[in-house]
Amino acid sequence: MIAKLKGLIDSTGDGWAIIDVGGVGYLVFCSARTLGRLGRGEVAEVMVETHVREDHIHLYGFVDAAERDWFQLLTTVQGVGAKVALAILSVLAPDNLLQTVAAADKAAITQAPGVGHKLATRILSELKDKVGDIALTAFPTGGIGKGLDEADGAAFSGAVKDAASALVNLGYQPSEALGAVSRAARKLGDGADVETLIRAGLGELAPAEAVAR
């Protein structure tokens, strides 16, 4: 099983790269984000996910562990194959994808070719709670190891993280807190401080609480 390749970038195309490792050319399928960092004639290292089927062996390459882990997570969703997962990662970097799922931003997900509203709804629904678990590492309440948590936790190192952490401390679930604050942050735009995000996050949670009653 191939887990990593380091070699000379022989050529690239739409969704693929050929990496020359000791004279052997490996065809690796990649997102646009990864391809943008692979220069022809340059030495590069990519993390690899190997898919073995009866009729083929495909290699999928990623510039970092966060993208590889999101690829693995996305392909757990029914209807999301490798091609669709790479398409999503081509339009949403791992840090943006975490917040997109937390905020249930269907419009952002449907930017990816092959993702319609029905599939986008399924992706957001199935990954919502998993994103909450990932986000735990951004809070004092715990962690889940390495990979997504390290890279995406950094994306919430500012006001969003602090505001979501405050809501967790008030008793809300991490997925609820992060989702509410993420939605609030998108509406308020860059520059919103922690207190403003906390108030807006509570406002996002209030309608759901009213319905629950």
Do 83 and 181 lie in one domain? The reply is: yes
Q: Which residue has the higher pLDDT, 107 or 143?
A: 107
Q: How confident is the model at residue 149, as a pLDDT?
A: 42
- Based on the fold, state whether residues 51 and 70 are members of the same structural domain: no
Q: Tell me, yes or no, whether 154 and 109 share the same domain.
A: yes
Which of 52 and 212 is assigned the larger pLDDT? 52
Q: How confident is the model at residue 208 (pLDDT cuts 50, 70, 90)?
A: low
In a domain, 123, yes or no: yes
Q: Do 53 and 103 belong to one domain?
A: no
11 and 110 belong to one structural domain: no
- In sequence order, the β-bridge partners of residue 79 are none
129-171 pLDDT, tens digit per residue, is 777 555 544 444 333 233 334 434 444 447 777 888 888 888 8
With beta carbons less than 8 A apart as the criterion, state whether 48 and 59 touch. Answer: yes
For residue 210, being part of any structural domain is answered with no
The predicted structure's pLDDT at residue 209: 54
In a domain, 14, yes or no: yes
Instruction: Give the C-alpha separation, 174 to 172, whole Å.
Output: 6
**What is the bridge-based pairing of β-strands 24-30 and 43-52?**
unpaired
Letter string b/e over residues 142-164, b meaning 16 or more CB atoms within 10 A of that residue's CB: eeeeebbbebbbebbeebbbbbb
Same domain, 74 and 39: no
Please state which of the ranges 29-33, 39-43, 145-149, 173-177 shows the lowest mean pLDDT: 145-149
94 and 188 in a single domain? The answer is yes
Last residue of a domain, one of 16, 32, 63: 63
Residue 13's domain is classified under what CATH number? 2.40.50.140
Q: How far apart are CA 153 and CA 10, in angstroms?
A: 34
Query: What pLDDT does residue 135 have?
Result: 52
- The answer to whether position 115 is within a domain reads yes
Check whether residue 141 and residue 40 sit in a common domain.
no
Integer angstrom CA distances of residue 14 from 17, 33, 212: 8, 12, 48
**Residues 130 and 178 reside in one and the same domain:** yes
pLDDT, tens only, 73-104: 999 999 999 999 999 999 999 878 887 887 78
Residue ranges making up the domain that contains 49: 4-63
* pLDDT score, position 207: 62
Q: How many CB atoms lie within 10 A of CB 71?
A: 22
Q: Do 113 and 171 fall within a single domain? A: yes
Instruction: Among 26, 48, 63, give the residue marking a domain's end.
Output: 63
Least confident of 98-102, 136-140, 187-191, 209-213: 136-140
Give the end of a domain, one of 21, 36, 63.
Answer: 63
Q: Is the pTM for the entire model greater than 0.95?
A: no
Question: Are residues 38 and 102 located together in one domain of the fold?
Answer: no
Q: Are residues 31 and 99 in the same domain?
A: no
Q: Average pLDDT, stretch 163-181?
A: 81
Q: Distance (Å, rounded) from C-alpha 59 to C-alpha 45?
A: 14
Give how many domains the chain has, as a whole number: 2
Task: Supply the CATH number for residue 159's domain.
Answer: 1.10.150.20
Task: State the Cα–Cα distance between residues 94 and 88, nearest whole angstrom.
Answer: 10
